[in-house]
Amino acid sequence: MNLDYPITYISGISVQRATLLYSELGIKTCNDLLNFFPFRYIDKTKFHAIKDLQPNSSEVQIVGKITNVKSVAQKRGSRLVATFQDASGSMELVWFKGQKWIKDSLKVDVPYVVYGKLNHYNGSFSIPHPEMELVTEYKKKLQTKMQPIYHSTEKLTNSGVSNKLMRSYIQKLLQQFYDSIQESLSNNIIIDFKLMKKRDALLNVHFPKSQENLAQAQNRLKFEELFFIQLQLVRKKLINKAKIKGFVFENVGSIFNQFYSEKLPFNLTNAQKRVLKEIRKDVASGAHMNRLLQGDVGSGKTIVALLTALLALDNGYQATIMAPTEILANQHYIAVSELVEGMNIKVDILTGSVRTKKRREIHENLEDGTLNILIGTHALLEDKVKFKNLGIAIIDEQHRFGVKQRAKLWAKNTLPPHILVMTATPIPRTLAMSVYGDLDISVIDELPPGRKEIKTVHRFDSNRLSVFKFMKDEIAKGRQVYIVYPLIQESEAMDYKDLMDGYESVAREFPSPKYQISIVHGKMKPADKDYEMQRFVKGETQIMVATTVIEVGVNVPNASVMIIESSERFGLSQLHQLRGRVGRGADQSYCILLSSYKLSEEGKTRLKTMVDTTDGFKIAEVDLKLRGPGNLMGTQQSGVLNLKIADVSKDSKILVAARNTAIDLLQEDPNLEMEHNLPIKNTFAKINRNSKIWSNIS
């Protein structure tokens, strides 16, 4: 028997039902069904005596006999009532639907196991629509202790595929295929980590005899799942380093040195110096660099990116910086242009709003090599954009680009350019190990000296007048203020103040000509948006009312107050990004989180976390626990962490052990050729055949 057979090989699953299971749950083969794990269990290890039942009992299990069955009239129709008795007393079992069929199937004076939700009314107990099984049948089954509960869909339930039916399919599958289940780990690993054997783990995860057996089974399956992901990532990283050649930047030349000694606006932090060393070592090695640079908001990633680009220029190559929005691309363009002013370096920008004539000029300059650094948005990925010799591609806020988009940069050259991906959204260590396990990771974990920590407070909507007074005090000191709203237009489903309403109330409180207000949102034309942004940057307006378009890429050192309206509507990483728009100058900065009184527990946790810490990594850990890895990475990364049983936030110890094991294994046996590693090799080959989720660039 082969677990790759379609599920129609299991008795009782028709072609029609198999089609439904595939469309609803993605279950196609026997192996898919075997790895469709329960998400919770009902503990049926305990049996209750009727005399010991308590009014607050929820779900109970009792062994006894039916002594009497009758139909009882009620206001609308009738109900079927059976008297159920054990050695200690009696109670009622009640049915409101399917009475005729149930009455015909009930056996009097025969032992049953009854399970259901307990009702207590007028001093007596009853169970409506109980689950019932003859004791003789109950003893024959695998699930005698803890009952597995599987995820389902409305369509499956309506088509008669109940949880009970799913259990019966998996029971039949285990009975038919148990001997065909092959071990996937080596004996060495099983012994070292005291792991359960594969077939026993699969049996016990579906039909555990005890909590202890279940814990051992889950531990084994979690380790295996994370181990093979890490094996794939670590192996890919080693192959890339060995096989994919990169341009060699052997010179730290006059361009880099001139900038470093004459143009650098401040001394680099130790963290920036460390990261630069790591990058220089990579690009000089002859191997291809694929590095993730993490750094909190304001930690100085841009200057590291520019110095890396200058290394490329010193060695005769071009550089590009790609950003997810025009605002951020413009921000980089202005910053880089100002920093290299007076040096013989040509910098240009390419976005969707660049006119045709200018585009042609950029294309020509790129191809003849006179353009050194090109900054832009997705427009850089167009086929028409051809470099003479692209040496490094720097991708900012990389989580906003899909894998395919990033891989397009590789096609711009015969040799792939070095890749530096940057994010100001700190990624928890465990998640970075999983999603970016094939990249080298650098972290700037130090803010430039002189930066003051942003003071963050949470205020309810009723405190708005005192918030307005605080704004006026700050503006009187010459400071500027952001006010950010979650919505652009009124939504009937949500009672949050939208941007336009907010703008009007702010305009009433801060009338012109004494106060000037900018407004920016996603529906504006790029030119209008840029005009409003520039007014704020130049200090012509004191208040910017905006949506989250300003989340990344706005750098106004004079802005010292960030007010986030309906802050409970934002995710933690968004709140952290928005807060990072202030605190860029030497003045004390503030972030005020406004919310309604209606806060969910998760909403309270998010706002409390923001008030308690400005550490992006701590915030990311809380975010991971609240949202899970899939949501944290966004839709572009879906599939990368499509885990069946493990959870990277809860199973971090297992993840670290799995990664270290994979590294040690590949150092000892890179091609998995040793006899004791054959089970791993076979499983790994199978996973690679069935899963094409890993591309050339993370």
Q: How far apart are CA 617 and CA 426, in angstroms?
A: 5
User: Both tokens of residue 625?
Assistant: 């626990």
Collapsing DSSP to helix, strand or coil, 592 comes out as strand
Q: How far is CA 523 from the centre of its chain?
A: 27
Tell how strand 517-520 and strand 543-546 pair up. Answer: parallel
pLDDT of residue 694: 42
Mean pLDDT in consecutive groups of 10 residues from the start of the chain, 698 residues = 88 93 94 93 84 82 94 89 94 91 92 91 90 87 76 90 92 91 95 95 92 93 93 84 84 92 89 95 89 84 94 95 87 91 94 91 94 93 90 79 61 80 77 72 81 90 93 94 76 53 89 91 80 89 84 73 92 86 85 93 93 86 73 42 78 88 93 94 85 45
Burial letters 555-568, b for 16+ CB under 10 A, else e: ebeebbbbbbbbbb
Torsion of CA 698, 291, 630, 487, to 10 degrees: -110
Instruction: Render pLDDT for 533-563 as a digit per residue (tens, 0 to 9).
Output: 889 989 999 999 988 766 555 678 889 999 9
At residue 185, φ and ψ (nearest 5 deg) are -115, 160
* Stated pTM of the model: 0.66
**How many angstroms separate the CA atoms of 417 and 386, rounded?**
13
Cα–Cα distance, 334 to 394 (Å, whole number): 16
Cα–Cα nearest to 352, from 379, 331, 328, 329? 379
The pLDDT, as a whole number, for residue 255 is: 94
pLDDT of residue 581: 85
Quick one: CA dihedral 641, 644, 650, 655, positive or negative?
A: negative
d(CA 172, CA 167): 9
Q: Is 595 helix (H, G, I), strand (E, B) or coil?
A: strand
Alpha helices for 265-423 (secondary structure H): 270-284, 301-314, 326-339, 356-368, 403-408
Contacts 24+ apart (CB under 8 A), 95-99: 95/128, 95/129, 96/128, 96/129, 97/129, 99/71
Tokens representing 609 are 């976390």
Q: Phi, psi at residue 159, to the nearest 5°?
A: -90, 10
Q: Looking at residue 26, what is its pLDDT?
A: 92
Say how far apart CA 136 and CA 133 lie, in whole Å: 8
Sheet hosting strand 318-322, strand order edge to edge: 347-350, 373-376, 318-322, 390-395, 418-423, 290-295, 440-444
What is the amino acid identity at position 414? T
Give the per-residue pLDDT at 407.
65
State the pLDDT at residue 626: 79
Other beta carbons within 10 Å of 522: 12
**Angle CA 569–573–578, to nearest 5:** 75
Spatial separation of the C-alpha atoms in residues 348 and 496, rounded to whole Å: 41
The secondary structure of 106-154 as a DSSP string is --TTSEEEEEEE-EEETTEEEEES-EEEEHHHHHHSS-SSEEEE----H
pLDDT for the residue numbered 37? 95
Strands (E), 434-513: 440-444, 455-460, 480-484
Residue (of 512, 519, 511, 553) closest to 536 by Cα position? 519
Residue 567: closest CA among 541, 539, 584, 591: 591
Residues forming a β-bridge with 368: none
Alpha-carbon distance of 279 to 308, in angstroms, equals 7
Cα separation of 246 and 226, whole Å? 30
